[in-house]
A and B are shown apart, each in its own frame.
Chain A
């Protein structure tokens, strides 16, 4: 997934946005919210060899705002912020273990959810959703991170 092309990323975001809209109504029954598009974008920035342009993150978020019918600027701002954080601490992350990185992404996703809920409507804000999502996302990322140990061929392919 290293240095993924812009068009490819936009297509992936488009498909994942549809997938997210299908999954979200089922997951919310268990107080879980999984921002797939945000996480995939973050992963793409994280895996990139070089720092991405802030405008790229902004436009990607803007594109997601358009296709997901969320308020314009919401994803643009959050994607830009995430891009800034990842680019700023890209070298620091190399010192982190996988668990720490998984926790970082889980916390980021919860921050994204909380901020999104605050902007879209306070009625949607729920601490239980945030805590359960944090727990679920951390476990999910750990499982995904462990896959490379059980399926080494995947890590060779993507690294």
Chain B
């Protein structure tokens, strides 16, 4: 079917509408007369889409979120249970064998270096009063062996740096008399020079005095002294320390201090050598 071309009346209407359009464009651009209508329409669209979303999309999203949260909770629960099981296993290991985490390599290395073939028991430092150690003359430590209930009184206590003392009393805990305790005496030597070193009551320091008529060989600063093994407690030949200070206390009597190479406060794992 053919279409009829616009009549003159229709053409006038077209022309009129185009003129009106031009006029509308002009007043809109010039005076912003239709901003209110446009803003109203935009706010209507935004509100409608919001209401539509709230009524349709949001409930579905909420349902999805609830199901997702539930899954997340289940997964979280499973994860926590797994971690709890792991924690139980770890606690079981620790409670049944606390030696599990103790490192005896350093003590083995120390014994190898000093050619000591004694059996040793790993022990941990249970109690050590550092204030007493720093201020006073009574230097004691309390240790507990991991897997040994033997009577270890008189046994040497070492760490990876050297000798720290020996056990003087043993029960559930063993009391260690440290080298620096004022009651402690230890025979030491350097070459042909022998001396009984007494604890100074000061941390890391022991004192030795001798008659220079008996021991004519002179002691010098930095000279190394070793355990002599004469007391029957400590093994022979372990480095004890270096001479730090020399003084004449009386005529023919020389006293010197030795700085110890080992310290009881460096590590909390020690080795107890079986009595020699």
Contact = CB atoms under 8 A, between A and B. Distances in A.
A83 to B, nearest CB: 8
Nearest to A81: B18
A67 B41 contact: yes
Given A54-B13, A55-B13, A71-B28, A91 B2 contact: yes
Contacts of B64: none
B17 A80 contact: yes
Contact of A80 (B3, B4, B18, B42): B18
Contacts of A87: 3, 5-6, 10
A77 B13 contact: no
Nearest to B25: A73
Contact of B6 (A49, A71, A84): A84
B37 interface: yes
Contacts of B3: 49-51, 87, 90-91
Contact of A77 (B22, B34, B41): B22
B4 to A, nearest CB: 6
A80 B38 contact: no
Interface string A69-107: 101111011101101100110110000000000000000
Contacts of A69: 38, 42
Interface residues of A, number: 27
A72 B13 contact: no
Contacts of B17: 54-55, 57-58, 76-77, 80
A143 interface: no
A53 B136 CA distance: 114
Contacts of A83: 14
Nearest to A90: B3
Interface residues of B, number: 27
A77 B21 contact: yes
Contacts of A49: 1, 3
Contacts of A88: 5-6
B23 interface: yes
Contacts of A90: 2-3, 5
A84 B103 CA distance: 98
B6 A51 contact: yes
B42 A73 contact: no
A40 to B, nearest CB: 19
A51 B25 contact: no
Interface string B1-41: 11111100011011001101111111011000110011001
Contacts of B24: 71-73, 76
13 contacts: A50-B1, A51-B3, A54-B13, A66-B41, A72-B34, A73-B25, A76-B17, A78-B21, A80-B18, A81-B18, A87-B3, A91-B3, A119-B29
Interface of B: 1-6, 10-11, 13-14, 17-18, 20-26, 28-29, 33-34, 37-38, 41-42
**A-B interface, 10 closest residue pairs, ranked by CB to CB distance from nearest:** A77-B21, A73-B24, A90-B3, A73-B21, A73-B25, A71-B28, A72-B28, A58-B17, A76-B21, A72-B34
Given A80-B17, A87-B6, 16 more contacts: A50-B1, A55-B17, A57-B17, A58-B20, A66-B37, A69-B38, A72-B24, A72-B37, A73-B26, A76-B21, A77-B18, A77-B21, A77-B22, A77-B25, A91-B2, A91-B3
